[in-house]
A and B are shown apart, each in its own frame.
Chain A
């Protein structure tokens, strides 16, 4: 069982639709990060959320950190084909003395024109 569980694992939608991706854990995280990874490339950081209840917006992407800092969500409004990719959440659990990032399994998003 992974420390960070992402859902759904796969999502295929039409251009213009809205979607939400979830990242859940039973552990508390000091912060959570969201990455997007395109085929043949490494993950690229989108955002870091630090405070419980925090909401950050990046154009059509809205990121939220749960009040208890155990979960996060990514909402995309009016998805575009360019949003296609693998979305990963990651964070350093408080129980991890080394402060190393733990990654979720990822959500693979396909946006069809």
Chain B
């Protein structure tokens, strides 16, 4: 059972470089999310896609862009990486973007910007 799969697992970038984090889910979920996790801060929502064809900003969207490529895939792009974007990134999905729906998380992507 794959669930939510995200790549790469680890990445080191130089300041100013760009990269894309890929995410795919095989649960036929409508909603997908990108979070970042920093020590003591819990998880903060970067962007989400309530359904295929829609994307919306979350709590901390600056410096990121997203693409909901199809129902399965939701990518996160850093156009010009900054050290402040060093974090652990989690992709997640849920059946609907509504209260009470269980959110399933991927295993995380560790990103270091030097």
Contacts and interface: CB of A to CB of B under 8 A. Distances in A.
Contact of B42 (A2, A45, A100): A2
A48 B105 contact: no
Interface of B: 4, 35, 40-45, 48, 56, 58-59, 90, 92, 97-100, 102-108
Contacts of A103: 35, 42-44
A104 B40 CA distance: 9
A105 B42 contact: yes
A1 B92 CA distance: 25
A101 B103 contact: yes
Given A43-B105, A44-B105, A100-B58, A88 B42 contact: yes
Interface string A56-86: 0000000000000000000000000000000
A43 B103 CA distance: 9
A43 B4 CA distance: 12
Range for the number of chain A residues in contact with chain B? 20 to 34
SS class, residues of chain A in contact with chain B = loop
Given A30-B99, A99-B98, A99-B99, A42 B42 contact: no
Contacts of A99: 97-99
Contacts of A92: 99
A59 to B, nearest CB: 19
3 closest cross-chain pairs (CB), A and B:
A42-B105, A103-B42, A103-B43
A113 interface: no
A23 to B, nearest CB: 10
A50 interface: yes
Contact of B102 (A45, A100, A104): A45
A4 B105 contact: no
Given A99-B99, A100-B45, A42 B108 contact: yes
Contacts of A105: 40-42
Given A2-B41, A105-B40, A106-B40, A100 B97 contact: yes
A42 B107 contact: yes
B40 A100 contact: no
